[in-house]
Structure 1
Amino acid sequence: MKLEKVTDAPDGTIKRWYDDACGTALALEFVGERWSLLVIRELLLGPRRFGEIRSGLPGLSANVLTQRLQGLEAAGVLTRETLPPPANVQVYALTPWGYEAEPIVMALGRWALRSPAHDPSLPFSRVALMLALRMMFDPAKAEGFAARIGFSLGNERYVAAIGDGGLTLVRDGIAQADAVLAGEPNAFLPALFGTTPLAEVVAGGRLSVSGDVARAAHFCTLFALPPTIA
């Protein structure tokens, strides 16, 4: 049975078609190539420069990243923008349609995390950590709790705001946070998604916390990994 054919796209690139009218097959034409969906992941919290995207995907070469960005732009998933002065730098941003992929990325991540093959020791990007908060947040645990928790991740800053049983994420705004956690992404995993209290993780030296420590510790109890399949 013929499953796939290869044709030349108008821009001269190679396009693979599955001869399948299903929307899932069409989606794979847009994001099915290696790295494409992870490029989208890195843009879900706002526009990023080429180097910022690549730093979040250390196994991705500059050449392949260029190809994926071009393909996603041609598909209408992302666009190139130039930031206003004084920055004047080019960034890549998801289109409104591109942002609609977020629930797909989140659902796929939750589904895959149930596999025993999940290895939390592998590299973990800063954007991925922030999205994991949204992915693993348990609204029932946050009932009656409100806080703004800042994350200082190298040269990147984020704030997770809890209120009315929901969680929102923004870049920057860390000066208004009730508490700030600082470290690299993998260092957060035991406190946020494991069984290790924040104080023990901080004592180990890989994380630091400033501000309202008690509120930060409570914040860390609001998340849980999905159950692993048998």
Structure 2
Amino acid sequence: MSRLRRMPRQPQPATRPARRRSYDQFCATARALDSVGDRWTLLIVRELLAGPRRYTDLHADLPGVSTDVLASRLKDMEQGGLAVRRRLPPPAAASVYELTEHGRGLLPVLTALARWGAPALAERRPTDAVRAHWFALPLLRAMERLTCSGTVEVRLDEGEFHLSVGEGLPGAEVYGYGPAVDADVRLVLGADVCLALGRGESTLAKAVADGGIEVRGESALADEIRGLG
């Protein structure tokens, strides 16, 4: 019987460490885009500005993103110091993602983008998804000049969310999903009013005066908003 000759083992190519794409430009804008310029990254930041979220919740509120892309972007954000993943204590026993201080520093960027993009929302397309908390950024900008601090609960036909406004709220999230645990004021309005505020076609004072915003609650913050009209 003939014996099979063993073939010499071929050397395996050395594994090269994965390298994220870079513009390789000594420019602050290019460096920023190295971190957040990929598709979906800034929208993930938008979701995490409302606080820690599970992977499944992020996927549900980012219609159109694949599971592979979402996992890849989250990994990139962890490596770039924009987000961290931590394990919730029992009985939750789930992992959540949350922004670092570096990641939360993107709020002005998202606010500016929302203001710049607001005119493009003149008409909702049949394929457009919508979530109530996506209207938080234009409302935050509309409330910049309020002097009282507190929590604002916002009720739209699309759902509810809440905002933290004013100074002196250390550790408070910028906005959150669903109704507030203990709101200082509740605002009832339509998405069209939010869009008008975002496009600069209206102001908080005008919307209150015209009846476009119904103000509910008894607090200094409620009185200030009610007094705008």
TM-score by length of 2: 0.65
Structure 1, gaps ≥5 residues long: 1-7, 203-208, 223-230
User: What SS does the corresponding residue of 2:190 show, helix, strand or coil?
Assistant: helix
Deviation at 1:31, TM superposition (A): 0.9
TM-score by length of 1: 0.64
Q: 1:188 aligns with which of 176, 190, 206?
A: 190
The one-letter amino acid of 1:54's match is H
**How many residue pairs align between the two structures?**
195
Structure 2, gaps ≥5 residues long: 1-14, 197-201
Deviation at 1:42, TM superposition (A): 0.9
The answer to whether the aligner puts 1:79 opposite 2:84 as a matched pair is yes
Q: 1:136 aligns with which of 133, 142, 145?
A: 142
Bigger Rg, structure 1 or 2: 2
**Corresponding residue number in structure 1 for 2:33:** 28
Distance of aligned partners of 1:175 and 1:96 in 2 relative to their CA distance in 1, 3 Å threshold: closer
Deviation at 1:192, TM superposition (A): 3.1
Kept after mapping to 2: 8 A contact 1:9/1:15 = no
Identity of matched residues, %: 31
1:63-117: CA deviation from partner (whole Å, max 9, x where unpaired): 211111111111111110111222121000111211112222222222333xx43
Q: 1:158 aligns with which of 162, 168, 190?
A: 162
How large is the Cα RMSD of the aligned pairs? 4.0
Deviation at 1:152, TM superposition (A): 5.7
User: What SS does the corresponding residue of 1:91 show, helix, strand or coil?
Assistant: strand
**Corresponding residue number in structure 1 for 2:115:** 110
The one-letter amino acid of 1:188's match is G
Q: Distance in 1 between matches of 2:53 and 2:226?
A: 27
User: What SS does the corresponding residue of 1:17 show, helix, strand or coil?
Assistant: coil
Q: Distance in 2 between matches of 1:193 and 1:119?
A: 8
Kept after mapping to 2: 8 A contact 1:190/1:201 = no
Deviation at 1:44, TM superposition (A): 1.2
Q: 2:68 aligns with which of 63, 72, 89?
A: 63
Distance of aligned partners of 1:157 and 1:9 in 2 relative to their CA distance in 1, 3 Å threshold: farther
